[in-house]
Amino acid sequence: MPRVAAIDCGTNSIRLLVAELTERHDGTFDLRDLHREMRVVRLGQGVDATGRLAPEALQRTRDALKDYTIAARRKGAEKVRMVATSATRDASNRADFFAMTREVLGVEAEVISGDEEARLSFTGAVGEQDPDDGPFLVVDVGGGSTELVLGEWDGKRASVTAAKSVDIGCVRITERSLKSDPPTSNEIVAAREFATDVLAGAFDVVDVSKARTWIGVAGTVTTLSAVSQELPEYDSEQTHLSRLSPADITRVSGHLLEADHEARAANPVIHPGRVDVIGGGGLIVQILAEEIGRRGGPSELVVSEHDILDGIALSLA
């Protein structure tokens, strides 16, 4: 049973999954988690404004990657794949990032397209779903981009019918529009208009009315679930496969936008690295819920802790 390491380096966080692959009789694979870890390194700090990766952001990413390399080796990973998404796609000095990852990890990091990011997220998210609940709409709200993917899952393999990545995420919308603490009403209106305009490009490609189940992945969505449940501490077992109604999403995102930094930081389920951007992320999810409902898609959001990391790991089978 081979062991693999998957690393996802996004705009806001860098995450590691070390897993054991088990082949089924039909040639597909199951994953058994050996180690999961997430750190907020904010690689995309200022990229939207400057077009460059900041030196301090690269250093934070280097430090995390050193520890991930050690963890993967200790767990016996035989194959490693690292993918980098929105921040590095946009940066003019991304060669510095590549040089750093080669030096630390020993393998080439891949800057994948938004559509490939979407497909990997879909594969990771649908594995525990009942095929009869499809077609599935998987949405990944990241730091710099948001992916919408529509597809089917037959219990063995995922098939994508439409996918689109657009340049809107919790870091990007916060840096561009939500600059006050807490944001002013005018800033929220501007952020809403910005997000609605950008997300329209995804809805033009992905017909959400064909979906029966809406699944949300990644830290913004899982944090919204934890806040909604008023958990005393973050617990992935409580957030995984939990559900958020449109009313839940509106209530929680509104609360987060109204709260100042100190109030958000006092919530034990919000990771310190998400405190300043979770309001923007919540607003994006709220707009998604409104637009998906308006276009005849599923209203309830199923929250999944399994996402692109699982898809990356499965790609190493």
Digit-coded pLDDT (tens) for 186-209: 999 999 999 999 999 999 999 999
Task: Name the token pair of 107.
Answer: 């393998």
Give dist(CA 132, CA 154) in Å, integer. 8
Digit-coded pLDDT (tens) for 210-260: 999 999 998 899 999 999 999 999 999 999 999 999 999 999 999 999 999
Digit-coded pLDDT (tens) for 81-112: 999 876 787 789 988 999 999 999 999 899 88
Give dist(CA 208, CA 137) in Å, integer. 7
Residue 280's pLDDT is 96
Digit-coded pLDDT (tens) for 265-311: 999 999 998 999 999 999 999 999 999 999 999 989 999 998 889 98
How would you write the chain as a 3-class SS string?
Answer: CCEEEEEEECCCEEEEEEEEEEECCCCCEEEEEEEEEEEECCCCCCHHHHCCCCHHHHHHHHHHHHHHHHHHHHCCCCEEEEEECHHHHHCCCHHHHHHHHHHHHCCCCEECCHHHHHHHHHHHHCCCCCHHHCCEEEEEECCCCEEEEEEEECCCCEEEEEEEEECCCHHHHHHHHCCCCCCCHHHHHHHHHHHHHHHHHHHCCCCHHHCCEEEEECHHHHHHHHHHHCCCCCCHHHHCCCEECHHHHHHHHHHHHHCCHHHHHCCCCCCHHHCCCHHHHHHHHHHHHHHHHHCCCCCCEEEECCCHHHHHHHHCC
Digit-coded pLDDT (tens) for 62-86: 999 999 999 999 999 999 999 987 6
Residue 188's pLDDT is 96
- Region 168-189: mean pLDDT is 94
Give the CA diameter of the chain.
58
CA dihedral (266, 240, 313, 130) in degrees, to 10, reads -160
Give dist(CA 256, CA 264) in Å, integer. 7
Residue 28's pLDDT is 67
Most confident of 119-133, 149-163, 284-298: 284-298
Domains contained in the chain, CATH given: 3-111 (3.30.420.40), 127-304 (3.30.420.150)
